[in-house]
Structure 1
């Protein structure tokens, strides 16, 4: 049976055309200044992700999955993956300030002290993992209460 392409409603097609137009406009504006630097950054980011970061977090994910043991507990890896992913995204976005690499520029541009970004990131990471542990504990406890007890 051949694959048929289903066209959406006219509203969906209009919305898709508008999103392509907006993406094209943003691309033209972005590349207008330093097109070579932007293109180099995009290619470098793709290569860094595919050649370094993807294997790295695949190995970490496999270690967490293997560390949790039996197949019945693999569903619990989500309680590690979600806070780790959110923490990693925050680190990726705020890395220049967390590492202190752009402290001088940040101070001159905003007039604020760049101190404390590392401590705040660590606190947010701890809160994410603590919240995830609380949700896991609550769900495990609720599941244990719902299980029927077998009397011998």
Structure 2
């Protein structure tokens, strides 16, 4: 076991899970390409080009604007050198925004009411998906704010207080 861990760099369970995920991806690819192979390949190439040429520059520019806003506010606010700093504060905005946008991307036909006969098949009203997505997005950002507050509290608590007087030393 130690030889495998030394050569591979992780546990045998990790190797097993990676191999299982590869086999699952190959199985899904084979099943997907059994039908309209050309259509699937065109869709993959189109999605890659759309991502690389449109979405990547768009969300990179958005991320840089948000980083500048946070950096500017942090510089202005931190005139006090003893103010707590949380490393990676931008991630408290990035993560919930990413998950919310990913949910929107996956479920957009239902969220934006693009599936006309959905109510007939399931009996669920089609208008509820927009409301549920908004509630999930609000919950994600609320959880992120909670995590940020806990990180700030832990940083503040771990920092030694500078206003405490030093303990008097006894004379010999």
Range class of TM-score, shorter chain? 0.7 to 0.9
Q: CA RMSD in A?
A: 2.8
Partner of residue 99, structure 2: 86
Distance 2:159 2:26 in 1: 55
Structure scoring higher RCO (CA < 8 A, sep ≥ 6) equals: 2
**Structure 1 residues 123, 22: closer, same or farther in 2, change over 3 A?**
closer
Distance 1:80 1:106 in 2: 33
Distance 1:45 1:76 in 2: 31
**Structure 1 residues 125, 10: closer, same or farther in 2, change over 3 A?**
closer
In structure 2, stretches of 5+ residues that fail to align are 1-5, 76-84, 166-172
**Structure 1 residues 20, 127: closer, same or farther in 2, change over 3 A?**
closer
CA distances 1:83-120 after superposition (whole Å, capped 9, x unpaired):
11111111111111111111x23223323222111111
Distance 1:149 1:58 in 2: 39
More helix by share: 1
Partner of residue 59, structure 1: 61
In structure 1, stretches of 5+ residues that fail to align are 1-5
**Structure 1 residues 54, 74: closer, same or farther in 2, change over 3 A?**
farther
* Higher gyration radius (CA): 2
